[in-house]
Structure 1
Amino acid sequence: MISSFDRNRIELYEKITEIVNGGEMFKAKRDGFEFEVNLPKDFEEAFYKLVDRVNFSLIEDKDNFYGYFLFQMKREIRFDITTPTGVNFKGAKYVIYFNPIIFLQLTMEQMQGTIKHEIHHILAMHLLRAKDLKDKYSTLAINLAMDIVVNQYIDFVPPYATTLEFVNLKYNLNLEHYNTLEYYVDNIQNELDLMEESEEGEEDDSRENEDVEEEFNPEKTHDLWDESDEIDDKTLREFTEKFVSLSDKGEIPLHVQSLIKALKSTSGEIPWNIYLKKLMGTLESNKKKTITRRSRRQPERLDLRGELRGHKAEIMVAIDISGSISDEEFKQAIREVLDIVKNYNHEITIIECDTSIKRVYKTKSVKGVMDRAVPGGGTKFSPVFEYVNKHKANLLVYFTDGKGEEKLEVMPKGYKTLWVISGRGDKLSLKQPFGAVKKLKRVEIKEFSVDTYETRVDGWSMNHQEPTL
């Protein structure tokens, strides 16, 4: 027997499709990105009442955080979005948009799922993160990767939603569950680069009303984000934290707790591990030749081979063994670095040092990490920089208590530096560090040490996944 909710939903869907097909509701006026329609008032009221029912069902659920979060958001109807829902930030509020033609085709559970989907994007700060990725990756790769990230934590999604399984099948990939955003977007982009252009993307000129979107389009899923008000990162985080605070009325899912924790921890200073992720995303990508595609600059030259993205990250990890860093901090630091860089084509060189370099070796896994050499007395930073300058490197991560010289005897050349101060340390003695300085104690080891199975159960994977800027 059909429920009253579904009966109401179907009636509204039939009504809106009749209105749209009649062509009476649209003025087709545009002011920048804004889209104006003449929508019958009785339909609008009935539609929002149905959304209220979905909202109340979320509030009554044990995970009522989503319901209270939605309750604070402004709601608008848009027919020019290619998803059931969308969000952006306007007028000091998060706004959630609904395309009734797509939204009304969903079940109650799928409606809840698509709302949770948008809230996850907000909590993961994807509205900001997308801006950082646009210079390096295509819109399609970014959209697919971000949707993979959030949809792994939602039980009911629309049948056409971007899932890990869908992307693996469509692009012949073997992406892992519960991995980082950088991992997904980099692998997807590499595959997109391999694919030849086809005629499948040609526009359909037969559409009667180009102002109405009736089908899901992954390449346009987050176009609304570009319409957000210009606001600095810090202010947006503060607004988001306020929304979170007012939504905390009961039990919060563990993966949402980890997202909130990451949001709050990055409202001031970026934790070192998150900063390392950002640095990894900015390293130069080596190019490799391929015969599977033409040169983009000279496509008519069949004799020229095209280029594919290749990412070879040469990483030096310096560990101060002077006795100021404990064995636990040492193990945690190495485990953290290896977990972060494992999604890149990388080579890690570990440098053990105090007043001089004691040992240098390469490793690709935790198993390859040796017990530390016998600690010495003081600490000097310059020998490490002298060594790194003589060897090819993209990045130096230096773990220390910060007590060393005030001035380097040699300057770093051609690579980025990240200083990570141990929990016992206070600040870096160098007056000019030539890189970012972060604290080690901000990071909890369990956020990066769980395996895939444990991740899905206890929710820590979302923190592993998305404590990003």
Structure 2
Amino acid sequence: MENYFEKQTKYLYDKANDVVSSYSMLKANRAGEKLEIEIPQDFKNEFFHLVDKVNLSLMEEKDNFFGYFLFQMARDIRFDISSPTAINFKGAKYIIYFNPLIFLNLNIRQMESTIKHEILHVVSMHLVRAKEIKGRYSTLAINMAMDIVVNKYLNNLPPYATTLEQVNLDYSLKLEPYETFEYYLEKIQTELDLMEPDDEGVEDDSNNNGDIETEYSPEKTHDIWEDSNEIDENTLKQFTEKFIDSAQKGNIPSYLDKLISQLKNSKGELPWNLYLKRLMGTIESNKKKTITRRNRRQPNRLDLRGELRGHKAQIAVAIDISGSISDEEFKQAIKEVLTIVKNYNQEITIIECDDEIRRVYKVKSVKDVKDRINIRGATKFTPVLEYANNKKFNLLVYFTDGKGEHNLKIKPKGYKILWVISGRGDKLSLNEPYGAVKKLSKVEIKEETIDMSDVRDDGYSMNNQAPIF
């Protein structure tokens, strides 16, 4: 016999369908008018009474952090979201939304997991991260990569949840475990680019209502993030920390403790190497023609070749050899640059300089990096910029102690600049740097760690992803 919770779920599911049916009939009779779904207050009360029971169950678990976090959030019902739950930030608070047509098809453990899923996105600052990279990658690739990252911590996922095994199977990939968000994003996007246009995130038009979603869609599951209030990253981080502090009522799992520590220890400003990752994504890429893909604008023209994304970056790395940067800092910096750009089509040029350019050479790997020449002059930035202006560089990364001219004699043309101040330096002497200025510090490229006691142990075996910084 069904228990009370199951009976209540079925009862509410039938009422949700009645709400949708009434709306569909009204819409059909009043064609052309803009209508909103009217949700009866008694249905809302009964539905959120059931959500309270799920929340109570969360609070009784060892990781009651999620229950206390949910307790602080505002709640609403939306039939136009294509996932059981969704989240955004409005009016100085996080709001969690429920689509009853999808949520009520889950058992209580799956309901708990989909709520945890949304909160993990918040703690991982995915709402900010997705906004930063929008337009450089497809929505589907971003959504799947982020969901792979958070779902590894969760048991009792819905059968349609985006997992590493499921993505590997559906897209014939061999994604590795224990990798970063950026790794999954690049791999998934590359595969999507190779697919025929008809196969790439084709929308199901079976939903004639348009504003009623009845099935999960990985491409649209995070669309509601776009409705969040415009707020800077630091302010959102402060609000998130307040929610986290109020939710920590006892011991929390080690993986969650690591995520929270990463959030609180971040200073709202990306370290130089992570900032370089962001710059790499903004560099204009060349398109590569292919016969394996139809032309997007004229798909019926089989004589026209399609295009693949092809990151082609000309990168200059200037090293101040005046004595301000140690050999250890120099080698570590070059190693990190090569690690960051390895997934791109790129060519790196090393420029050794002090008050003039001393040597220029190209590198493909760490073994190509030469020992610095033993010359210790003063520091001037202008010679490097003069050289770069006469080349077709996309990006100049300049490692220096920052002590040089106050004003450049020329302005950079056609490329971005990232100034990286050495550990012995203080600040950049230039009044106008024409680019971002970051401090050189020992920051791990791989931002995530994992404790095997925290990974999922159910049949989906998603025991192998890492959250983003």
Bin the TM-score by the shorter chain: 0.7 to 0.9
Alpha carbons of structure 1 residues 26 and 325: separation in structure 2 relative to 1, 3 Å: farther
Q: Are the aligned partners of 1:175 and 1:184 in contact in 2 as well (CA < 8 Å)? A: yes
Q: Is the 8 A contact 1:33 1:227 kept in 2?
A: no
Q: Which structure 2 residues correspond to residues 16-415 of structure 1 after superposition, within 5 A?
A: 16-22=12-18, 26-27=22-23, 35-38=37-40, 39-40=42-43, 43-57=46-60, 60-61=61-62, 63-198=63-198, 201-204=203-206, 212-264=212-264, 268-374=268-374, 376-415=376-415
Unpaired segments ≥5 residues, structure 1? none
Report the residue type matching 2:38 in the other structure.
E
1:233 CA displacement = 3.7
- Cα shift readout 1:129-148 (whole Å, capped 9, x = no counterpart): 32333333332222222222
- 5+ residue gaps in structure 2? 28-32, 455-463
CA distance in 1, matches of 2:338, 2:74: 42
In structure 2, the CA distance between the partners of 1:339 and 1:248, relative to structure 1 (3 Å rule), is farther
Once the 2 structures are TM-superposed, how far is the Cα of residue 432 of structure 1 from its aligned partner?
Answer: 2.0
By how many angstroms is 1:286 displaced? 0.6
Task: Determine helix, strand or coil for the equivalent of 1:198.
Answer: helix
Worse overlay, 370-379 or 394-403: 370-379
> Deviation at 1:437?
0.7
Q: What residue number does 2:459 align with? A: none
Supply the AA of the counterpart residue of 1:376. R
Deviation, structure 1 residue 284: 0.7
Equivalence for 2:8: 12
Equivalent residue letter for 2:347: E
Identity %: 59
**Equivalent pair of 1:117/1:154 in contact (CA under 8 Å):** yes
Deviations 1:273-311 (A, max 9, x none): 232121111011111111223323344443322222111
Measure how far apart 1:410 and its partner are. Answer: 4.1
**Aligned mate of 2:445, from 448, 460, 466:** 448
Mapped contact 1:74–1:96 kept (Cα < 8 A): yes
Give the letter for the 1:395 counterpart: L
Cα distance in 2 for partners of 1:33, 1:218 equals 26
State the Cα distance separating 1:188 from its structure 2 match: 2.7
- The answer to whether the 8 A contact 1:78-1:99 is kept is yes
TM-score (norm 1): 0.83
Larger displacement relative to structure 2 (121-130 or 216-225): 121-130
Count the aligned residue pairs.
452
Q: Residues of 1 paired with 2:363 and 2:191: CA distance?
A: 28
* Deviation, structure 1 residue 122: 1.4
Q: For structure 1, which segment, 120-129 or 170-179, has the greater mean C-alpha deviation from structure 2 after superposition?
A: 170-179
The 3 A distance-change label for structure 1 pair 34 and 236 is: farther
Q: Aligned to 1:349, what secondary structure does the other structure show? A: strand
Name the CA shift for 1:35/1:223 in 2 (closer, same or farther; >3 Å): farther
Quote how far apart the aligned CAs of 1:33 are.
Answer: 10
Say if 1:84 and 1:289 are closer, same or farther in 2 by CA, change over 3 A. Answer: same
Q: Which secondary structure state, in structure 2, belongs to the residue aligned with residue 308 of structure 1?
A: strand
The answer to whether the 8 Å contact 2:16/2:100 transfers is: no
Matched with 1:425 is: 425
Please give the alpha-carbon distance, in whole angstroms, between the structure 1 residues aligned to 2:59 and 2:243: 18
Shift of 1:378: 2.6
Deviation at 1:398, TM superposition (A): 1.1
* Equivalent residues of 1:54, 1:111 under 8 A apart: no
Distance 1:71 1:330, change over 3 A: farther
- Gap change, CA 1:180 and 1:417, over 3 Å in 2: farther
Distance (whole Å) between structure 2 residues aligned to residue 201 and residue 235 of structure 1: 35
Distance in 2 of aligned mates of 1:422 and 1:34: 57
Q: Deviations over 1:244-295 (max 9, x none)?
A: 2323444455554454455445554333223212111101111111122332
Once residues 104 and 115 of structure 2 are traced to their aligned partners in structure 1, the CA distance between those partners, rounded to angstroms, is 13
User: RMSD value over aligned CA atoms?
Assistant: 3.5
TM-score in terms of structure 2 length: 0.83
The Cα shift of 1:117 comes to 1.7
Q: Secondary structure at the match of 2:175?
A: coil
Distance of aligned partners of 1:155 and 1:338 in 2 relative to their CA distance in 1, 3 Å threshold: farther
CA distance in 2, matches of 1:80, 1:449: 37
Please give the alpha-carbon distance, in whole angstroms, between the structure 1 residues aligned to 2:466 and 2:390: 34
Shift of 1:425: 1.1
